[in-house]
Amino acid sequence: MTLSLSTGSVWKAVDNRIEGVHLVEKLFSSLIDGVELCLIDQKGFEEFELDKKSIKFLKGMKFNSLHTPSREYGKSRQSKKILEKIDKISQIIKLEHVTFHPNHVKDFSALKKFEFKTCIENLACGEMHKGWQFPKEIKAFLEKEKDIGFCFDVSHAMSNGINPKEFLELLGERISCIHLSAIEKEGRENHKFVFNSSKQAQKKIEPVFTFGVPLIIEVALEKEKIPLIKKEISFVRKKLG
Ligand SMILES: [Zn+2]
């Protein structure tokens, strides 16, 4: 089973995005199979350049992915510039896929000009995310877009009061990977570890462990909690058997 870690999980301990990659390497490289470059903020993305050290590290990983900046994607020059940079990163370190928040994409055909594989992600609760939150609406979209993959975000589903099982059952083989974290109740909440969440939350999340697609640990942490990622990794590994 492939277990990956989002660099967004260590943001609070670093000054920029490339340092996040270095910190993931230093602390967790022997425990994970992949890295998701979380480049969701525009400034972090613009500054981001792979260096020799990160290229060597990431090339040795089995499963790399990238989370795109929160910008509008379509035919604009700005969009093209971002997508070209992502494509270049993909060619250097071989990205298995590139994940977009679908509400940012005004024109999906703009993404198809590139070689990287596009995934969309189900979104958290909130007015801005309408149309991209529930299993049925994601399914309807993916039925029209056969080449687009789906990254299932567990906490986003739970923030909308959806049991993760509903997504797994309805989307099935369209699920390319899973963003793994826990929240306790509906609504907006920081993404937390599964290992120390409540028994009820763990029970809801349980089916994702054996679903058979790469799991990407994506949590929002205060700096002092970052070493606990090791506990989350060993908790998930035990579940995977
Ligand atoms: Zn996510």
pLDDT tens-digit profile of 15-61?
A: 999 999 999 999 999 999 999 999 999 989 999 999 999 999 999 99
Please name the residues in contact with 72: beta carbons below 8 A apart, sequence gap of 6 or more: 78, 79, 104, 105, 106
CA 3 to chain CA centroid, Å, is 12
% of the chain residues with pLDDT over 70: 100
Residues forming beta bridges with residue 121, ordered by sequence position: 151
Q: Which domains does the chain have, with CATH numbers?
A: 3-240 (3.20.20.150)
pLDDT of 241 higher than 80: no
pLDDT tier at 1, thresholds 50, 70, 90: confident
pLDDT value at 240 more than 90: no
| Confidence tier at 185 by pLDDT (50, 70, 90) | confident
**Tens of pLDDT, residues 131-167:** 999 999 999 999 999 999 999 999 999 999 999 999 9
218 alpha carbon to ligand 1 midpoint, in Å? 7
Q: Is 218 helix (H, G, I), strand (E, B) or coil?
A: coil
CA 151 to centroid of ligand 1, rounded, Å: 8
* Cα–Cα distance for residue pair 5/33, rounded to 1 Å: 8
CA 91 / ligand 1 centre spacing (Å): 23
Cβ-count burial of 76 within 10 angstroms (0-12 exposed, 13-18 middle, 19+ buried)?
middle
pTM: 0.96
Give the span between the Cα atoms of 200 and 104, in whole angstroms.
Answer: 33
Q: Is the pLDDT of residue 188 over 90?
A: no
Whole-angstrom distance, CA of residue 240 vs CA of residue 198: 19
Q: 212-233: per-residue pLDDT in tens?
A: 999 999 999 999 999 999 999 9
**Contact between 151 and 142 (Cβ < 8 Å):** no
Distance 179 CA to ligand 1 centre (A): 5
Q: Which residues surround ligand 1, an ion (CB under 5 A)?
A: 153, 179
The alpha carbon of 121 and the centre of ligand 1 are apart by a number of angstroms equal to 7
Residue 167 burial (C-beta neighbours within 10 Å; 0-12, 13-18, 19+): buried
Ligand 1 centroid to residue 80 C-alpha, Å: 23
State in Å: Cα 155 to ligand 1 middle.
8
179: pLDDT strictly greater than 80? yes
Is residue 187 pLDDT above 90, yes or no?
no
